[in-house]
Chains A and B, each alone.
Chain A
């Protein structure tokens, strides 16, 4: 698998439900970030979690990080149609600036 690989590749849920997507990576990291990309648009930074943190919240977002398993999860609670987008995790091996993005999870929230 690639550094920063998300799963599932696609997820379709009803409005109000929770959405969980996962990211796995290979090398040691200083931090892991999640971004959102609406169709045909740029990336919006959602949240950064450092390697010494296990969980972080921001509004309806909850991110966990398990460095022993080299994985992270993004939970969006009480989803809305406006959350429909692709979600990417990004890591920079060895604390560099060269962020590596996975192929993303395409989330569709049905109204």
Chain B
């Protein structure tokens, strides 16, 4: 039973390029969450998605950032025109619905470096 999978594990982009981060939730999980972790800090909530729906994107910057979780395939966090401040570790978590949302299972993260 594979856990949450994220790819790529490391991503290097130059300023102005686009970054696409992928997350495959655990089998049977229909809820996905994205968090960002800056160096020496805790994780910060960005967005919560269910299949084909964004439930809460209150933690995601209004510009340049978008997320989706299509009916088929992984969840995608997309950062357009990256800037150096976007350099961070991006973690995806998944959960079961309802009470199952209490426990989120995290992937290994994607470490984005913007040059």
Interface residues of A (CB under 8 A from B): 4, 30-31, 33, 35, 40-45, 48, 88, 90, 92, 97-104
What is the bound-complex CA distance between A14 and B98, given in angstroms?
A: 42
Q: A33-B103, A45-B103, A88-B42 are in contact. List 18 more A-B contacts (CB 8 A).
A: A31-B102, A33-B102, A35-B106, A41-B109, A42-B91, A45-B106, A48-B102, A48-B103, A88-B43, A90-B43, A92-B102, A98-B45, A98-B48, A99-B45, A100-B42, A101-B35, A101-B43, A103-B40
Please tell me which one of the listed residues A40, A43, A97, A104 contacts residue B106 in the complex, with CB atoms under 8 A apart. A43
Question: Is B107 interfacial (CB 8 A cutoff)?
Answer: yes
Contact among A4, A31, A97, A98 with B42 in the assembled complex (CB-CB below 8 Å): A4
Which residues of chain B from 1 to 41 have any CB-CB distance to chain A below 8 Å in the complex? 4, 31, 33, 35, 40-41
The smallest C-beta distance from A6 to any residue of chain B, in angstroms, reads 8
A52 and B15 CA atoms in complex are apart in Å by 49
B interface list, Cβ under 8 A from A: 4, 31, 33, 35, 40-45, 48, 56, 58-59, 91, 95, 101-109, 111
